[in-house]
Amino acid sequence: MKKAKLKGKVPLTYVTSEPFLGHFGIGGLPHGEQLLGMFLKMEGITAITDASIEYVDTDVIHLKDGQDVPMRYSMVIPPFLGQQVVKDSGLSDARGYVAVRPTYQSTDHDDIYAVGIAAAVTVPWQTSTPVGIPKTGFPTETMAHVAASNIASQVRGVEPKEEKEFKDIMAVCVMDAGNNGVIILADKMLPPRKHGVLIPGPQAHAMKVAFEKYFLWKARNGYVQLP
């Protein structure tokens, strides 16, 4: 918008399925809703929360609650879905997620593991069935370390004992937003938590760029033992 010299001249709308701003798929963090609300207000963005898209037309997005959002340009991010091959295997739910134990073994098969977005986990706001929710790099790596340790145990003929429930993994995330951003730190991924903080500022953008360069350097050179 800045490059096209249109900032402040056209309405911007953010539509999300989150029940409130700053939910992030993990139940939110202290002052997150106020912080995100302040950020959107500063940028002149109107937010519509707890929404689902019915369909996208040529110049309007129709929401399931009957609202219409006029648009000339839009970016739509669809819900996460598991892989079709997993659905076809019968190991997952209808959306392609595999229900797992704290060992990240399938609830039905000791020799099947799932981590990251492939793993269905229980969340406080939907206790009836495990769900697949967005999982950033840090919790995904933590889950993968647990799974790898347990796979190694099985190879050695030992009962897998390494456990770490998704809700108990620390929340460590850096969200980049152009020249700004937010650092998320919490003692647990899901509520209830003892500690949680959101740190806004340009340092988040700098950290994200630095981490990207470090991670690519590590991957290209095979330094997998580094954090």
Question: How open is the CA angle 130-134-138, to the nearest 5 degrees?
Answer: 110
Do 15 and 73 sit in the same domain of this protein? Answer: yes
**β partners of residue 169:** none
- Among 78, 109, 128, the domain-final residue is 78
Do 150 and 186 sit in the same domain of this protein? Answer: no
Which pLDDT does position 82 carry in this prediction? 82
Which pLDDT does position 135 carry in this prediction? 66
In a domain, 103, yes or no: yes
Do 156 and 91 sit in the same domain of this protein? Answer: yes
Q: Return the amino acid letter for 150.
A: N
Which pLDDT does position 137 carry in this prediction? 81
Which pLDDT does position 78 carry in this prediction? 85
In a domain, 188, yes or no: yes
Do 89 and 161 sit in the same domain of this protein? Answer: yes
pTM score, whole prediction: 0.81
Tell me how many domains the chain contains: 3
pLDDT tens track of the chain, all 227 residues? 888 898 888 999 999 988 899 888 888 888 889 988 988 998 889 999 999 999 999 999 999 999 999 999 999 988 778 888 888 988 888 888 899 999 999 999 999 999 988 898 888 877 666 666 656 788 898 999 999 999 999 999 999 999 999 999 998 888 887 788 888 899 999 888 999 988 888 999 999 899 899 989 999 999 978 87
In a domain, 2, yes or no: no
Do 153 and 201 sit in the same domain of this protein? Answer: no
Do 39 and 61 sit in the same domain of this protein? Answer: yes
- Among 138, 167, 196, the domain-final residue is 167
Which pLDDT does position 218 carry in this prediction? 93
Do 160 and 184 sit in the same domain of this protein? Answer: no
Phi/psi-derived region of residue 186, left when phi > 0, alpha when psi is between -120 and 50, beta in every other case: beta
Which pLDDT does position 188 carry in this prediction? 93
**β partners of residue 100:** 106
Do 73 and 88 sit in the same domain of this protein? Answer: no
Domain limits for position 33: 9-78
Distance of alpha carbon 208 from alpha carbon 3, whole angstroms: 23
Do 156 and 214 sit in the same domain of this protein? Answer: no
Which pLDDT does position 152 carry in this prediction? 97
Do 111 and 146 sit in the same domain of this protein? Answer: yes
Q: Write the CB contacts of 10 (distance below 8 Å, at least 6 apart in sequence).
A: 1, 72
Are 198 and 32 a contacting pair, CB within 8 Å?
yes
In a domain, 3, yes or no: no
Do 137 and 88 sit in the same domain of this protein? Answer: yes
Which pLDDT does position 24 carry in this prediction? 83
Which pLDDT does position 134 carry in this prediction? 59
Domain of 141, CATH number, reads 3.50.50.60
